[in-house]
Amino acid sequence: MRLGMQGKIVLLYSLLILFAMQLSGVYLVRSLENYYLRNYASSQIAQGELLGSFIRRYLVEEEQQGELISTLIAEFGGNIQGTETMVLDRHGRLLGGPESKSFSLLGERVIQDDILLALSGNRVEAIRADPETGARYYFLALPVKSTSSSVVGVVFLRGSLEHIYLTLKEIKIILITGWLIVLGIAVVIGFLLTRTITAPIREVTSRAAAMAGGDFSQLIEVRSQDEIGELGRMFNFLTARLQETLKEISSEKNKVEAILNYMTDGIIALDREGRAIHLNPAAKQILERSGSSAELGLPGEIILGNLFNSEELSHLLQQTSPSIKEVQAGDEGGKILQVYFAPFKENGSPQGMLVVMHDVTRERKFSRLQQEFVANVSHELRTPLTTIKNYVETLLNGAQDDPGVRLRFLEVVDKETDRMVKLVKDLLVLSQMDYQETNWPKEESDIVSLVREVLEQVELECRAKNIYLHNSLPPGDIAVLINKDKIRQVLLNLLDNAIKYTPNDGRINVSVIIKYDYVWITVKDTGIGIPEEEVERVFDRFFRVDKTRSRDSGGTGLGLSIAKQIVEAHGGSILLKSKLDKGTEVTFSLPLPSI
């Protein structure tokens, strides 16, 4: 069953009162219990010490008068109601006790922990419950000492505590009865008090239900000036505002329909004053990336100010026919947007403007890359094809009759054909890596041995140019997880560039070191170097520092791009440092296998 607000308040109120009464009752009962027990214990100790003083002189004598002591104990014990009294000598023999036990155990030794502790000179007090009846008793064992402080006997008392706990039980019944009466009165008062709060709330709820059914003429009679009265006044104000809002629903319907048509793109809806009345998440994201404010209520000139200049934007927002404008969001390299301006009208009069932002960055990027790729490939293929055509035409026009000329021309044609074949192969490799076809088989290989193999391959070419090829390789093996053919290709590309652009009598040094969980391979030459302003572009496709000289040396402008993508596909990185006329240093890294 649902518990209403009134029930919750009364329940909480009652629980607090009950908790307070319970806490005070427990404290009171516990205090009374301690008080009664202390008084009872003090009385028993006083009675025990008094009895001990009476019988001390009989216990000190060498020949104890057993019958006299027993008679004295019986007479004294009768004066302590509800208490069983026993007296024992220094050997723990019973000299007197309760009448039911005095004759049967008189003269016998009593072995009990409390008595043994008392015989050793300690006073023992304890409260224990009878395991059979559950009745609670107070136990007291007092040592009786002679003038020389030696223990000559023990007074043992056992008194029932049931009369104390019976009294405490009666007190608890009185307290519980009082609690129930007070709690009942508190509940009644609580219901009366909370009714003054919940009754107006129920009225507001019923009126709100009627408004939800379509009756917006509901008003509440304000009877007080407190928070409840303020709630009634605000409800009446809400009713008036809702009636005004109904008149605007028809115009808002057209706006919502227009927005729903473009929900996949960035949507900005402006009212007739040019202020934003709707921004979808895509529009907010685009505007925030371009550095514009994306908040409702701001003028369109502020929201779109970072995408258009003020004059152009003012013209676009004031026109009465749809238009499209393509802009770039943010600095160079930002998103390219197609922005649609669609004014919406009602009864022929303008009601606002709908701005739709469509992201065409990817399409434009692909288009530009495609154009650049086609232009670069066309340019690279046109040069060797033109050379081949010219030489073939020359041969066809009669130069073939000269054996020397024919052989030299055919060598040029063969060289240019090799250039085109190499270019096509490099383009195929780049195409595979662009489509993420880099899942090459890898195996654990010794990178030092691989570097030595590559150095042996280029050694003859270095000797031909009298280039000193030096290496700084560690003596042991360095195992890395690689595709040997691809890393071999990277090394050959770097060494091929170093040999091409290092003049005769130059020097090339290859080193391998381990640092920061990576193995670093460096190829350093004393070649012609690269201008500082062009170092950052050396990994771009088809980029050459000296295009004429690169073509003469057979370069395609793709070697470093391929090397970079291969190294990054292995989880490494590649760096290049160079100074003009000083030489170039290229370093790439490969991660070591995790242990």
Report pLDDT digits (tens) over 502-512.
999 899 999 99
Contacts of 587 (CB under 8 A, 6+ apart): 520, 521, 522, 523, 574, 575, 576, 577
Q: Let me know whether 256 and 275 are in one domain.
A: yes
Contacts of 59 (CB under 8 A, 6+ apart): 69, 89, 90, 95, 144, 146, 152, 153
Inter-CA distances, 2 with 5, 7, 8, 202, 534, Å? 10, 10, 10, 15, 78
Report pLDDT for 550: 47
Average pLDDT over residues 529-537: 82
131-140, 226-235, 448-457, 471-480: range with lowest mean pLDDT: 226-235
Residue 178 lies in a domain: no
Average pLDDT over residues 270-275: 79
Last residue of a domain, one of 388, 412, 434: 434
Residue 24 lies in a domain: yes
In our burial notation (b when 16+ CB lie closer than 10 A, e otherwise), range 245-284 reads eeeeeeeeeebeebbeebeebbbbbbbeebbbebbbebbb
For residues 336 and 256, the model is more confident at 336
Residue 344 lies in a domain: yes
Report pLDDT for 549: 47
Residue 111 lies in a domain: yes
Query: Is a pLDDT exceeding 80 seen at residue 520?
Result: yes
Report pLDDT for 341: 82
Query: Is a pLDDT exceeding 90 seen at residue 346?
Result: no
Query: Is a pLDDT exceeding 70 seen at residue 488?
Result: yes
For residues 67 and 482, the model is more confident at 482
pTM to 2 decimal places: 0.41
The total number of structural domains in the chain stands at: 5
Q: Let me know whether 339 and 400 are in one domain.
A: no
* Residue 375 lies in domain: 364-434
Q: Let me know whether 240 and 259 are in one domain.
A: no
Degrees to nearest 5, angle at CA 407 with 403 and 413: 145
Residue 482 lies in a domain: yes
User: What does pLDDT average to over the chain?
Assistant: 78
Cα end-to-end distance, the chain, whole Å: 63
Report pLDDT digits (tens) over 279-296.
777 777 777 777 677 777
Report pLDDT for 3: 64
Report pLDDT for 533: 80
The CATH number given to whatever domain includes residue 455 is 3.30.565.10
For residues 133 and 253, the model is more confident at 133
Q: Let me know whether 369 and 354 are in one domain.
A: no
For residues 259 and 594, the model is more confident at 594
Task: Kindly indicate the confidence band of residue 575, based on its pLDDT and cuts at 50, 70 and 90.
Answer: very high
254-258, 517-521, 542-546, 590-594: range with lowest mean pLDDT: 542-546
Residue 172 lies in a domain: no
The CATH number given to whatever domain includes residue 396 is 1.10.287.130
95-99, 356-360, 387-391, 398-402: range with lowest mean pLDDT: 95-99
Task: Kindly indicate the confidence band of residue 542, based on its pLDDT and cuts at 50, 70 and 90.
Answer: low
Report pLDDT digits (tens) over 178-207.
888 888 888 888 777 777 777 777 777 777
Please, what sign has the CA dihedral across residues 103, 108, 111, 115?
A: positive
Q: Let me know whether 559 and 447 are in one domain.
A: yes
Average pLDDT over residues 526-553: 70
Query: Is a pLDDT exceeding 50 seen at residue 551?
Result: no
Query: Is a pLDDT exceeding 70 seen at residue 515?
Result: yes
Report pLDDT for 480: 92
For residues 195 and 25, the model is more confident at 25
Last residue of a domain, one of 434, 464, 496: 434
**3-class DSSP assignment, residue 517:** coil
Residue 174 lies in a domain: no
Question: Which candidate, 549, 526, 386, 552, places its Cα nearest to that of 469?
Answer: 526
The CATH number given to whatever domain includes residue 346 is 3.30.450.20
Query: Is a pLDDT exceeding 90 seen at residue 588?
Result: yes
Place of tokens 């004031």: 318
Phi, psi angles (nearest 5°) of residue 407: -65, -45
Question: Which candidate, 380, 371, 318, places its Cα nearest to that of 343?
Answer: 318
For residues 211 and 164, the model is more confident at 164
Task: Kindly indicate the confidence band of residue 69, based on its pLDDT and cuts at 50, 70 and 90.
Answer: low
Q: Let me know whether 382 and 505 are in one domain.
A: no
Q: Let me know whether 163 and 58 are in one domain.
A: yes
Q: Let me know whether 227 and 272 are in one domain.
A: no
Q: Let me know whether 338 and 450 are in one domain.
A: no
Report pLDDT digits (tens) over 387-438.
777 778 777 877 777 777 778 778 777 777 877 777 677 666 666 666 555 6
Average pLDDT over residues 108-122: 83
Report pLDDT for 103: 47
Report pLDDT for 523: 93
Q: Let me know whether 399 and 480 are in one domain.
A: no
Residue 100 lies in a domain: yes
Average pLDDT over residues 86-115: 73
Last residue of a domain, one of 434, 462, 489: 434
Contacts of 167 (CB under 8 A, 6+ apart): 36
Average pLDDT over residues 320-336: 72
Q: Let me know whether 386 and 328 are in one domain.
A: no
Report pLDDT for 392: 80
Q: Let me know whether 502 and 373 are in one domain.
A: no
Report pLDDT for 492: 87
